[in-house]
Amino acid sequence: MKANVSGNGTRVGIAGVGVYVPERVLTNAELERMVDTSDEWITDRTGIKERRIAAEDEAASDMALPAARQALESAGVDAGELDMVIVATSTPDMLFPATATVVAEQLGANRAAAYDLLAACSGFIYGLSQAYGSVSSGVSRKVLVIGSEALSKIVNWEDRGTCILFGDGAGAVVVEAVDGGGFLGFELGADGSGGGDLCIAAGGSRNPTTEQTVADELHLIQMRGPEVFRFATRVMVSSAAGLLEECGAAVDDVDLYVPHQANKRIIDHAARNLGLPPEKIFLNIHRYGNTSAASIPIALAEAVAEGALTAGKRVLMTAVGGGFTWGSVYMTWSEGRA
Ligand code: UT7
């Protein structure tokens, strides 16, 4: 789906951002001692130097909570005002109840509907589109969208093709009516034919957990890296270009490109093909690796903190991930609440 929403009556935007990353830093040098890899290979092939790892007792909701509190504070919104809490994650605390219900309860968001959204690395972008739809239609007034991932818990630490890539963390935003700027358009899609290229094969209703599935390590991430890479490089470009065209915007109109931090080579390829110069690209993959649904909200919060994202700037975000799923958002950063 693709939509230019700039002509819709209500301006809806992001009124506050928050971030949390776990304390523990796992460097490439440490990974060299765990699997047959090298700092040079990881840096060259991915751009990653280090990533954060959740503590043993730290789950997705534990990371979502501080990020959410920061986003609410920066938006000046009380948890009790929230109408909806969406947690985009592939690593929920448990299959159900939803992690969002845990977060809503701990925040004191006692009026809010709460649910998890599973669209892998594209989950946060999907969540933004749902929050936009709910606020612009009048169903909700204030929606908290969180991306939180504890990927270290589902990584196979003996598989050098995946364990070097992923990291943990959370980012959150408050979506509501704003008096300037706001969302301009969305492009979302899915192609289930690539599902097997990036998956956790067991633990669901297709292959319930058994001793055998655990012995076969089917409860951990399996990825055909080069296939995902090929798909991602193509769709990062087509999704963003299609959305800009739908919005009647040129690449030069974009002030800041905040891509999913999947692999620096994927980001560089997309930026090059879209015609975005390096100074417009927000990058933090070297510090966090690929944090899936948390990657774009973490980047947004850091971009705001660094002064790279200020009122009036046009922001383009694109994510691609398991499913396959993808999504782009184009928006003008907001000046304040309506
Ligand atoms: O967020 C969306 C989800 N995922 C992604 O976006 C990931 C997309 N894919 C990728 O980022 C890349 O495919 C990887 C970084 C995962 C792998 O990089 P690649 O350039 O595609 O490597 P490859 O899998 O084609 O492997 C090339 C070589 C192989 O050796 P041979 O067969 O050529 O001798 C691998 O065994 O590199 C080897 N290799 C490694 N060597 C050192 C694979 N992983 C490693 C490693 N250290 N960690």
Tokens of 1: 């789906």
pLDDT at 8: 85
pLDDT at 203: 96
Residue owning the nearest CA to atom 6 of ligand 1: 262
pLDDT at 187: 98
* Mutation to probe ligand 1, out of 28, 43, 45 (largest number of atoms < 8 A from CB): 45
161: CA distance to ligand 1 center in Å? 5
Q: Annotate the chain with three-state secondary structure.
A: CEEECCCCCCCEEEEEEEEECCCEEEEHHHHHCCCCCCHHHHHHHHCCCEEEECCCCCCHHHHHHHHHHHHHHHHCCCHHHCCEEEEECCCCCCCCCCHHHHHHHHHCCCCCEEEEECCHHHHHHHHHHHHHHHHHCCCCCEEEEEEEEEHHHCCCCCCHHHHCCECEEEEEEEEEEECCCEEEEEEEEECHHHHHHEECCCCCCCCCCCHHHHHCCCCCCEECHHHHHHHHHHHHHHHHHHHHHHCCCCHHHCCEEEECCCCHHHHHHHHHHHCCCHHHECCCHHHHCECHHHHHHHHHHHHHHCCCCCCCCEEEEEEEECCCEEEEEEEECCCCEC
Q: Is the CB of 37 under 6 A from ligand 1?
A: yes
Domain of 316 in residue numbering reads as: 1-338
Residues 6+ apart with CB under 8 A from 76: 15, 16, 337
* Mutation to probe ligand 1, out of 160, 229, 291 (largest number of atoms < 8 A from CB): 229
The residues that are catalytic are: 121, 260, 290
250: CA distance to ligand 1 center in Å? 34
| 270 contacts 318 by C-beta, under 8 angstroms | yes
36: CA distance to ligand 1 center in Å? 12
pLDDT at 336: 63
| Ordered strands of the 325-332 beta sheet | 2-4, 182-190, 325-332, 314-321, 256-259
Domain count, the chain: 1
Q: Is the CB of 236 under 6 A from ligand 1?
A: no
Residues of the chain short of pLDDT 70, as ranges, are 336-338
| 167 contacts 47 by C-beta, under 8 angstroms | no
Q: Is the CB of 222 under 6 A from ligand 1?
A: no
301: CA distance to ligand 1 center in Å? 29
Give CA angle at 206 (167, 165), nearest 5°: 15
Q: Is the CB of 61 under 6 A from ligand 1?
A: no
* Mutation to probe ligand 1, out of 33, 200, 263, 318 (largest number of atoms < 8 A from CB): 263
pLDDT at 337: 60
Burial class (CB in 10 A: 0-12, 13-18, 19+), 95: exposed
pLDDT at 335: 73
| 182 contacts 331 by C-beta, under 8 angstroms | yes
Residue owning the nearest CA to atom 13 of ligand 1: 225
205: CA distance to ligand 1 center in Å? 30
Whether the model pTM is above 0.95? yes
Q: Is the CB of 296 under 6 A from ligand 1?
A: no
Looking up residue 213, the CATH number of its domain turns out to be 3.40.47.10
pLDDT at 7: 86
pLDDT at 104: 98
- How far lies 154's CA from each of 14, 34, 115, 166, in Å? 31, 16, 21, 10
pLDDT at 225: 97
